Amino acid sequence: MSAEKRVLLLLIAEDWYFWSHRLPLARAARQAGYQVVVVTRAHKLGRAIEAEGFDLVPLRLRRSGANPLLELRALAEIVGIYRRVRPNIVHHVALKPVIYGTLAARLAGVSRVVNSLAGLGFAYASTSWKARLLRSLLEPVFRCTLNLRNSRLILQNPDDIELFVSSGLVPSSRVRLIRGSGVDTALFRPTPEPKGPPAVMLAARMLWDKGVGEFVAAARELRARGVVARFILVGETDPENPSAIEPAQLHRWQEEGIVEWRGRRDDMPAVYAGCHLVCLPSYREGLPKVLLEAAACGRPIVASDVPGCREIVRHGVNGLLVPVRDAQALADALSRLVGDAEARRAMGERGRGIVVSEFGAERVATQILEVYREPPS
């Protein structure tokens, strides 16, 4: 590939994540004059990425893995790609691409590195001994990988910045706050509420750390109170995540009649149009795109009062915040909005205004391009 043209390489573990979260950035970078190379584990969306006009390089990196030989092979593969492509700048998204990509950039002589951590995942959301052990292993790795000369770290909320800076993982001079990955407000737009009983939706990967257990417990509590509503889970399981919920458990809840599990859906604007409010009782987030999309669609939100969620949900304005891991408080908040159509309408309208003014995809892409253009330091 030409060394004279500015080459941006995006290293992202999964093609679906690139497509759902970083496609607007790639388009904006191309418009700004970059040749965009997408390095990812290509599954169903490889052809779609190529059809967009981006160079696709398939990758065998798994988000989880304990086989040292396979992990070394993945690192060597990334080093080889960097040496072959010779990018002017690499942008790594999520935990393993940040660690492996930064090591590869150092070995391949790539001078400009941008790292994005969109939420801190299981290691920081869970309180289990496995999570504590993983944190103790990650922190020295972060100190080594996030402090390269000419590198920047993009985080999505002030809480994560405070954690990284106060722990000495990275100096504040290298950190940039860019809230979320943005949302297409033309695609995700308000629609009238559907007819029928209020439908409460949780859309996420089916992980315990997303608060799915608390959502089911709240649904069971509201049924016991006689509240008439439907409770819908949208999203697929994620076997590579330590917090994954087994499909058998999801089927048991559905057979119990407490929730409806819809699995993965690719028509999310229609999914939001089919519900009355959106719920995300996560334990920790970066800045969840599902809440941006829900607000853009004029739907009120009930979410945990945790990093990431409280960046988009303003309590009493466009939704309600509840204590984390508190199914009773979650049930109370859901009951309040299930029974108040006017509050749902007003909160949904205000949420749409917040997203349009603060979280549009073009705005976020522009902010990231500005990081790419920063002078070396």
Give the CATH number, domain containing residue 118: 3.40.50.2000
Instruction: Using the predicted structure, report yes or no on whether residue 21 has a pLDDT greater than 90.
Output: yes
Asked if residue 81 lies in contact with residue 73, where contact means CB atoms within 8 angstroms, the answer is no
- Indicate whether 191 belongs to any domain: no
Report pLDDT for 1.
Answer: 46
Is 66 a residue whose pLDDT tops 70? no
Total domains, the chain: 2
Tell me how far apart the terminal alpha carbons of the chain are, to the nearest angstrom: 27
* Separation of alpha carbons 71 and 360, rounded Å: 37
The whole-number pLDDT of residue 346 equals 98
Q: Are residues 245 and 131 in the same domain?
A: no
- Cα–Cα distance measured from residue 377 to residue 34, given in angstroms and rounded to the nearest whole number: 21
- Whether 368 and 347 share a structural domain: no
Q: Are residues 350 and 233 in the same domain?
A: yes
Closest by CA position to 332, among listed 203, 218, 214, 233 = 218
Compute the chain's Rg from CA coordinates.
21
Where does 109-174 have alpha helices with state H? 121-125, 129-145, 158-166
Express each pLDDT in 207-248 by its tens digit: 999 999 999 999 999 999 999 999 999 999 988 888 999 999
> What pLDDT score does 64 carry?
66
User: Any idea which of 10-14, 131-135, 169-173, 279-283 has the lowest mean pLDDT?
Assistant: 131-135
234 shares a domain with 171: no
Give the pLDDT confidence of 282-297 residue by residue, as tens digits.
998 989 999 999 999 9
CB 187 within 8 A of CB 219: no
Number of H helices, E strands in the chain: 16, 13
Residues 174 and 292 in one domain: no
Same domain, 19 and 146: yes
- For residue 1, is it within any domain? no
Using 50, 70 and 90 to split pLDDT, how confident is the model at 65? low
Same domain (yes/no): 68, 112: yes
% of the chain at pLDDT higher than 90: 82
Residues 283 and 264 in one domain: yes
- Same-domain pairing of 347 and 368: no
Residue 43's domain spans which residues?
Answer: 7-182+361-372
Is residue 188, in this structure, part of any structural domain at all?
no
Shared domain for 30 and 117, answered yes or no, is: yes
CA-CA-CA-CA dihedral for 254, 228, 292, 247, to nearest 10:
-10
**328 and 206 together in one domain:** yes
